[in-house]
Amino acid sequence: MSVDSSLIDAAATAPPASRVGWLDQAWAFARAKGQSGRVVIWRHALKNAILPVVTVIGIEFAFLIGGLVVTETVFNLPGVARFLVEAILWRDYPIVQNLVMFIAIVVILSNLFVDMLYGFLDPRVRYGH
């Protein structure tokens, strides 16, 4: 399965589970105010359903970084993960330490990006107030 299809699959399964009970109430209230169906979906439903999607994409990104080791080794692709495997086989510990630290920093920065994106997408989630 490719990277794109696993992210799309994970993102597509999150919104229905997150909006099942809420959408009926919001739909009825917004329609009673006179808003069209498109406005209700884009302004109300999508705003609340996007946070679980962002969460799943962030988690999947961390799994994809971990899966690079297997992918690059099996398909003989040059990359950081394959270099990590070769450094382990060569017992080159400084390179192993640096590459593990690099992968950990990439995962931590992706989690930080997801957390910062929460505050942008949903004003109710603000940090430092």
CA dihedral (65, 71, 77, 78) in degrees, to 10, reads 30
Q: What is the pLDDT of residue 118?
A: 86
- DSSP label at residue 64: H
d(CA 46, CA 53): 10
Instruction: Give residue limits of the domains in the chain.
Output: 3-121
Note down pLDDT in tens along the chain; length 129 residues: 555 555 455 555 555 555 456 566 666 777 777 777 777 777 767 777 888 899 999 999 988 988 999 999 999 999 999 999 999 999 999 999 999 999 999 999 999 999 899 888 887 777 666
Q: What is the pLDDT of residue 66?
A: 84
